[in-house]
Structure 1
Amino acid sequence: MTEDFTPNAGYIEVKPPARPRQNIAKDNQQMRLALLRVKRYETAVQRLQEEQDRERQTARQAGRDLIKYTTSVKDHAVPELWGYLPPEKNPYALYEEENKTTGCCVIS
């Protein structure tokens, strides 16, 4: 037996057909698009996981918080309930001070 392997009679050496550069470039482009698609899926899954892990508030608790806020914070836009603001504390009311009319804005 020799050091070099030589095929026996009847065997022929078969080489894979040479692929044109266009096919190689097309395969590379398809691989890049597939990797980009996988990356988009992974980021979407990560965002969904973060959304799922976020703390939730029940409708019951939200209703309680809303009622607590509306009963504790005075809203003088409803004067029948909370009463009128004195003119000096109301930034939108017009009142005279030293013969000068001031209000929410000055037009000259």
Structure 2
Amino acid sequence: GSGTVFLTNCNLGCIYCQNYDISHLGQGSPISAEELAKGMIGLQNMGCLNINFVTPTHFVPQLVSSIKVAIELGLGIPIVYNCGGYENVGTIKLLEGIVDIYMPDIKYSDAQSA
């Protein structure tokens, strides 16, 4: 399965969010880049097929640092960037060569696109 890492306090703030406690109420704990890197290695060692960051937009610089540390520690599974789809060009450029799979949500569109 996917090694899903939820990041707290989503930048979108959708009132209908299925992960409301995480995205709106700040559920979670701060950790260092090194701790997150070790967590990614732990997920890989448990057999996860990828590392899936959910709502990562507002933590991109820190995530890039952590992913680089994880790669040095032996991370070899794909990185999934599961976002709201409103990333700017600068954010995408920071992720170039780091993220393997981009998975933006389609929000606020017609039923067919959703």
Give the TM-score taking structure 2 as reference length: 0.20
Give the structure with the larger helix fraction: 1
Identify which of structures 1 and 2 has the higher relative contact order when contacts are C-alpha pairs closer than 8 Å and 6+ apart. 2
Higher strand residue share: 2
TM-score calculated relative to the size of structure 1: 0.20
